[in-house]
């Protein structure tokens, strides 16, 4: 079964798989969605120094001719945006265990202390973090491990933006290349990452489109059920969210005759040749790589025939 089929099969059962790990000996458990991970390696060489001004970016490694920047996740958890010396918080291990992740085609290595088991959970078993007022919040939710201890799910999009601010800056620069749509109905947007919701709001404003933001699929579905479809132009949803996934959003909307006409665009960090197959398997009307302004404009125009 290929990656797309695995993702679709899991989410049609309203499930997800997470790689769990620790950042220190006998420390808390953290998790990253398994489908954001390319591989996990023990790196034996020294990191290449890149003189980064970001205090939790450790350097570069070279893996199969790819130069991959390394983030010390433990340092990142202690990073506030102001503190620059985080050496005392570094992952303290002789083994350089590196989790290589793919964020919309950008490869990033994350240094951890120890790898644990793969955890399969229903999205309904994952509790979203409700502290929306904290700009430094680094986890999007939590769930239970096999022994009932708490596993915290990392906001990997925030980690990538904190490490490489140019990712968000590039998207904001791309706003100049999109044209107004001037919709008189709402676009409903669901994503569990604050940085993603932030840039999506800016994109909608540049498009001159009314919009509503939701932190998970259930919030979006609740709004749609309460208010009805008349003022809704389209839905843009992430796939992987606590409480209710984007897969469940698509299933419920497309299976409800009152809502099934509403175009749905998937906004996912899964990119490349899998996009068209993924969108088709979900009966979605479009698929964009994570919050790309021009792709959003083109997808909305196509879905709405404007």
Can you name the residues that pair with 212 across neighbouring β-strands? Answer: 188
Q: Does residue 279 share a domain with residue 172?
A: yes
Q: Does residue 85 share a domain with residue 61?
A: yes
Q: Does residue 67 share a domain with residue 133?
A: yes
The C-alpha atoms of residue 207 and residue 41 are separated, in whole angstroms, by 43
Q: pLDDT of 131-167, one tens digit each?
A: 666 667 899 899 999 999 999 999 888 898 899 888 7
Q: What is the CATH number of the domain that holds 104?
A: 2.40.50.180
Q: Does residue 176 share a domain with residue 193?
A: yes
Q: What is the CATH number of the domain that holds 191?
A: 3.40.50.2300
Sign of the dihedral defined by the CA atoms of residues 190, 126, 218, 246, in that order: positive
Prediction pTM value: 0.81
Q: pLDDT of 6-62, one tens digit each?
A: 666 676 677 889 999 999 999 999 999 888 899 999 999 999 998 888 999 999 999
Half-sphere exposure (CA, 13 Å, Cβ side) for 14? Answer: 15
Domain of residue 90 covers: 3-163
Q: pLDDT of 260-271, one tens digit each?
A: 999 999 998 765
Closest alpha carbon to 281 in 292, 266, 267: 266
Phi, psi torsion values for 133, nearest 5 degrees: -80, -15
Q: Does residue 67 share a domain with residue 36?
A: yes
The C-alpha atoms of residue 306 and residue 299 are separated, in whole angstroms, by 10
Q: Does residue 282 share a domain with residue 206?
A: yes
Q: Does residue 158 share a domain with residue 11?
A: yes
The C-alpha atoms of residue 263 and residue 83 are separated, in whole angstroms, by 44
User: At which of 136, 163, 190 does a domain end?
Assistant: 163
Q: pLDDT of 175-232, one tens digit each?
A: 888 999 988 899 999 998 888 898 899 999 999 999 999 999 999 999 999 999 999 9
The C-alpha atoms of residue 294 and residue 288 are separated, in whole angstroms, by 10
User: At which of 163, 179, 195 does a domain end?
Assistant: 163
Q: Does residue 53 share a domain with residue 42?
A: yes
Q: pLDDT of 99-113, one tens digit each?
A: 999 877 788 999 999
Q: Does residue 180 share a domain with residue 148?
A: no
Number of domains in the chain: 2
């Amino acid at each position: 079964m290929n990656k797309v089929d695995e993702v679709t099969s899991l989410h049609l059962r309203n499930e997800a798989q997470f790689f769990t790990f620790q950042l220190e000996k006998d420390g808390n458990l953290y998790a990253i969605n398994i489908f954001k991970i390319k591989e996990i390696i023990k790196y034996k060489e020294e990191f290449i120094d890149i003189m980064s001004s970001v205090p939790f970016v450790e350097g570069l490694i070279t893996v199969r001719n790819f130069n991959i920047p390394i983030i010390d996740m433990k340092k990142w958890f202690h990073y506030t945006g102001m503190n620059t010396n985080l050496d005392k918080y570094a992952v303290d291990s002789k083994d350089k265990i590196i989790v290589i992740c793919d964020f919309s085609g950008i490869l990033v290595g994350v240094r951890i202390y120890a790898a644990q088991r793969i955890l399969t959970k229903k999205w309904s078993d994952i509790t979203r973090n409700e502290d929306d007022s904290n700009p430094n919040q680094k986890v999007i939710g939590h769930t239970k491990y096999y022994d009932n201890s708490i596993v915290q799910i990392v906001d990997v999009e925030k980690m990538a933006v904190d490490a490489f601010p140019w990712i968000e800056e590039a998207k904001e620069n791309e706003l100049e290349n999109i044209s107004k749509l001037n919709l008189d109905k709402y676009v409903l947007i669901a994503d569990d990452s604050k940085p993603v919701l932030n840039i999506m709001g800016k994109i909608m404003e540049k498009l001159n489109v009314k919009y509503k933001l939701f932190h998970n699929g259930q919030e979006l579905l609740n709004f749609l059920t309460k208010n009805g479809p008349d003022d809704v132009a389209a839905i843009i949803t992430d796939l992987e969210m606590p409480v209710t996934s984007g897969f469940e959003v698509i299933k419920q909307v497309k299976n409800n005759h009152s809502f099934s006409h509403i175009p749905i665009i998937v906004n996912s960090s899964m990119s490349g040749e899998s996009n068209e197959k993924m969108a088709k398997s979900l009966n979605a009307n479009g698929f964009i790589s994570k919050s790309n302004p021009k792709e959003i404009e083109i997808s909305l125009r196509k879905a709405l025939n404007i």
